[in-house]
Amino acid sequence: MSAASGGALASDQILARLTALHPKIIDLSLGRVETLLAKLGNPERKLPPVFHIAGTNGKGSTGAFLRAILEAGGKRVHVYSSPHLVRFHERIRLNGKLIDEDELSALLDECERVNGGDPITFFEITTAAAFLAFTRHSSDAVILETGLGGRLDATNVIAKPAATIITPIDYDHQQYLGSDIKSIAAEKAGILKEGVIGVIGPQGDEVRAVLEERAEEIGAPLVVWGQDYMAHEEHRRLVYQDDRGLLDLPLPRLTGAHQMVNAAVSIAALRQMSWLALNDIDFERGLMTVEWPARLQRLTRGPLVTAAPKGSEVWVDGGHNPHGARAIAHAIADMEERSPRPLYLICGMLNTKDLRGFFAAFRGLAKHVTTIAIPGEAATSGPGQLYDAARAEGLEADPASSLEDAILQVTARAALAKAKAAPRILICGSLYLAGTVLRENG
C-alpha cells in the first residue's frame, strides 16, 4: 500500500481501516467504485479537463512534466498518482500543494461513511476521495495516473478526458494483466476513448498494433511517437518536432534519456490542446523546474550520504522491472562515459517482480550488488533470493541485513578496491525501498 511510513496521523488510522474493506489488495473492477461515486454525487463528472495516463513505466514522470509545463504557463493543476513514497498525502496534489492532513482525514472519513462498510478496495475508495477533493478546489486541469492496467482501473471512470496518454508498455503485474504482452497492452488500451486524442509513447511493434487496433475500433485519434512526433538530444539540448513545428529546449531536469522521452510525450499531449495557449517559454521553464522524487534522484546530504565513502555519489531510483532497469542502466552508462566511477548497486525488490530480468540490465556495468529486504514489506524478496538472481546473471553479489549494513559493506568493499574514483552507489529495485531511503535520509 505504501512506500514507507512514519508517525501515525488521523488519516493513517482511517487508511488502515479502509484496507480492511476488501479481502484483496487488488481486485480489478469498476462496479464498486462506480457505486460509491454515485453515492457521492458523481464527482468524476465535475472535474476540469483530465489528462489520463496509463503505461508500464514513465507514468509518474510524464505526469510530473505535464504539471511542470502547465504550471509554468500559469495553470492551476490537480494531480492524482500512486504509490506514495513517504506519506499518502503525496498521492493527491491540489493546485501545486499536497493535500493537508485535516482535509485528507475529512475526505477519507466522508468516503468511509458514505460507503457504509460495503466491500471496496483501498485504491478504489481513495480514488473516490481524490475525485471529491478535486471538485472542491477550482483548477484548470487534472492529471490522473492509473494505478494498475487501465481498462478496469478505478481511475477509468472519466467518460471524456481531454487526452489519454499511454507511456511505454512492457511486462509487469502479469498476475493481474495477462501473461503475454498483447494482453497487457489490451488492458492499458482500455483508457482510450471515442473521439479523445490518445498520445502514444515509444512501443514495441506488437504493443503498438494492439493500441492502434483498439483506437480504430472505438474511433480514438492517435498521436504516435516516431510517426507524429519525436525528440532527440543534440548539442546538449532537447530537440522536439511534430507537425506544428520544432522546439529547441533545454535538457530536462530529470536525469536519463528515458526522461527525454517522457518529456516529449508530455509536450506532444499539451501541444494538441490549443485551448491551453501555452508558448515555447512555458515548455522550456517546465523542463527546467520539473521535480519527481526517486527517479534517478541524487542524494546530496543526510545520514546515508554521510555513511558512504567520502566523495561518493549516492542515487536512488524506484524502477522495478526489466524495462525500467534498462532505462536506469542506460542513464548510468551515460554518467560513466562522462565521469567514470565504479558502480555499486544496493537492491531490494518485491517477490512478484522479474528479479533476473532486472539484474540483466546491469551486466558489464555494476561492479557489485548488495541485496537487502525491503523494510516493512511482507511481499519483499529475501536478500538470499536476490543474491541468487544477481549471481545467475553474472553479477558479483552479497546479501546484507539492512540498508545501513549494505552501505557499510559497500564502504568496506570500495576501500579494498582502492579505485581512483569514489564509487557511484545506486539504491534501486522498488519504489517501496525508495520511500524508505527518502524517509530514513531525512
Instruction: Work out the pLDDT band at 291, boundaries 50, 70, 90.
Output: very high
Angstrom CA distances, 158 to 53, 152, 214, 407, stand at: 12, 12, 18, 45
Domain coverage including residue 119: 10-289
Between CA 37 and CA 92 the distance in angstroms is 17
- 322-338 and 257-271 are packed helices; what angle lies between their axes, rounded to 10 degrees? 110
Mean pLDDT value across the chain: 95
165 and 238 together in one domain: yes
Strands (E), 225-317: 229-234, 237-242, 245-250, 297-299, 313-316
The three-state secondary structure class of 119 is coil
What is the model's pLDDT at position 2?
A: 46
One domain for residues 222 and 185: yes
Pairing of strands 77-80, 92-94: antiparallel
Chosen domain end from 253, 270, 289 = 289
Asked if residues 113 and 79 have their Cβ atoms less than 8 Å apart, the reply is no
User: What integer pLDDT is reported at residue 49 of this predicted model?
Assistant: 98
Name the band, by pLDDT with cuts 50, 70 and 90, for residue 315.
very high
CATH code assigned at 193: 3.40.1190.10
- pLDDT single digits (tens) 130-159: 999 999 999 999 999 999 999 999 999 999
Choosing from 246, 272, 289, the residue where a domain stops is 289
Instruction: Band the pLDDT of 5: cuts 50, 70, 90.
Output: very low
Same-domain pairing of 309 and 181: no
Mean pLDDT of 52-68: 97
Per-residue pLDDT averaged across 412-425, rounded?
92
Give the three-class secondary structure for 265. Answer: helix
Answer yes or no: do 14 and 130 share one domain.
yes
136 in a domain, yes or no?
yes
Does any domain span residue 2? no
In the chain, the percentage of residues whose pLDDT exceeds 70 is: 98
If asked whether residues 132 and 212 sit together in one domain, one would say yes
Convert the pLDDT of each residue in 9-53 to its tens digit.
899 999 999 999 999 888 999 999 999 999 999 999 999 999 999
Q: What percent of the chain has pLDDT over 90?
A: 94
Residue owning grid cell 546530496: 300
CATH number at residue 397: 3.90.190.20
Instruction: Based on the fold, state whether residues 128 and 65 are members of the same structural domain.
Output: yes
Q: Domains in the chain: how many in total?
A: 2
Residues 406 and 362 in one domain: yes
Contacts of 85 (CB under 8 A, 6+ apart): 3, 4, 293, 294, 318, 431, 434, 435, 438, 439
- State the helix-helix crossing angle for 101-115 and 122-135, rounded to 10 degrees: 120
Extended strands (E) in 243-365: 245-250, 297-299, 313-316, 343-347
Residues 375 and 265 in one domain: no
β-strand partners of 200: 166, 224
The values of phi and psi at residue 236, to 5°, are: 60, 35
Segment 348-360, tens digit of pLDDT: 999 999 999 999 9
Are both 147 and 181 inside the same structural domain? yes
When computed from its CA atoms, the radius of gyration of the chain, rounded to whole angstroms, is: 21
Q: What is the pLDDT of residues 217-266, one digit of tens each?
A: 999 999 999 999 999 999 999 999 999 999 999 999 999 999 999 999 99
